[in-house]
Structures are given as structure tokens and as C-alpha cells.
Amino acid sequence: MITAKSVTRKLFRLIRFAVFFFFFSTVLVTIIYRFVRPPVTPLQLIRVAEQIAEGEKVKMNRDWVKLRDISPHMVQAVVAAEDNNFMKHHGFDLEAIKKARELNKKRKNKLGASTISQQTAKNVFLWPDRTWLRKGLEVYFTGLIEIFWGKRRIMEVYLNVIEMGDGIYGVEKAAGKYYRKPASDLNRAEAAMIAAVLPNPRRWSPASPTAYIQRKQQRIMRVMNQMEKVKF
């Protein structure tokens, strides 16, 4: 005879199994990605679906390169532009979060305080969204990659999967598209320009920068001059 008590026990067993499977599988995949490049990201799949839905040609241009084959200027530029304390924090820049909260009380266009680690976790494992569920999972995966990957691997993955234009992913393809050279040969100004458009790479382009993007490039270059060299 099926009773409420037996159903409850089965339900709790199912929940325990689901929780265990989630933690086991996500930790396993994170460890695998420490050594193997992610085959595709959720955002890349979403962009492909959007292109198909709109009757456009599918564009997914990407070319994975090792961090040693990426110009140090590019590493310096994204840290200067996106996450000044990348080498110091453990995934979350609490000071930047606090500052953004204070500034956002007076702004219509809200500032973000996502670190490069958070952006990498979101790009590799999650979908673009602003729900509490997605943000909570972002915190979880950020913790995992900080534990199992370390800063060098986080930077390598970040620079290879981040969207850098319409159908363009990763700095190697961006360097070829905008400057006709490999990522290893990017100079300071070129790296800063690519970093300047990262918040919205489908709106802005290094090939035809607006006055705003040019000013942002100059600010990034000043920060690059002032900050310590990023070393792994």
C-alpha cells in the first residue's frame, strides 16, 4: 500500500540523488575543462539558433590558442578594462561590487562588477540572463573554476571563448578579423581597442571605433601603464 510517508521518502531520495548528480557532474566537467577546451558554449549555441531563426548564414568563427600564443598586451588590456583586481581576488571583487551598488543608486544605466572569473564561468557554463537562478549558478561555477583552474587557465579560456564580434569568438579570430594578424602580434593600442568594445562587441567594432570607444581605449591604455604587469 502506497502511503504519504513512503511517497515522501521516495521524493527525498530522488532529491538527494539529483543534488548529488548535479554536484558530481559539474565538478567533473569543470576538472575536465581544466585540461580540455570547451567544445561549445551556451551563448554560441544561442547565437546560432538566432541566426537560423532569422534566415541568416550560420557564423561561428573561433580558433583556440594557448595563452603563451596570445600577446601579453591583450592580457594586460582585459585586466585593465574589465577586472583590475583579477590577480588578487578569489572570483569576486567585493570592493568593486560595493562601489557599483553606490553608483547605481544615482544612475539609470547600471554598472556591473563582474570579474573576469565570473564572466568566464557564465560564458562556459551558463546562458545570458539576469534571473536570480542564473546569478546563483554563476557564483557556484565561479567558485569551481577558481578552485580547479587557477588564474592562468581562467584567462586562457576567457580569451578564447568570449564574444568579440558578430559570430567571432576569441582573441585569435578577433585579431585576424580586425588587424590581419595573429593574437600573438597584437600591440598595446590594438589590444586596448579590442578590450574597449567587449561590453557590447556586436554594437561596437575595433574596425570603426566611435569617439566614445576611442576615449575608452585611451583610458584603458593609461590603466595598463599604471598597473603591475600580469604574471602567472
What CATH number does the domain containing 173 carry? 1.10.3810.10
46 plus 24 within the same structural domain: no
User: For the chain, which ranges sit under pLDDT 70?
Assistant: 1-2, 4-5, 7, 100-112
User: Based on the domain organization, do 77 and 150 belong to the same domain?
Assistant: yes
Q: For residues 193 and 213, what is the distance between their CA atoms, to the nearest angstrom?
A: 8
Q: Which amino acid is at 103?
A: L
Instruction: Output the nine-digit C-alpha cell for 43.
Output: 551563448
- pLDDT at residue 110, as a whole number: 54
- How big, in percent rounded to 5, are the helix, strand and coil portions of the chain? 60, 5, 35
pLDDT score, position 8 = 81
Report if residue 232 sits inside a domain.
no
pLDDT in the model for residue 12 = 85
> How far, in Å, CA of 201 to CA of 209, rounded?
11
The pLDDT score that the predictor gives to residue 181 is 97
Q: Which domain holds residue 59?
A: 41-226
pLDDT tens per residue across span 123-174: 999 988 889 999 999 999 999 999 999 999 999 999 999 999 999 999 999 9
How far CA 134 is from CA of 43, 57, 123, 207, in Å, comes to 13, 29, 12, 33
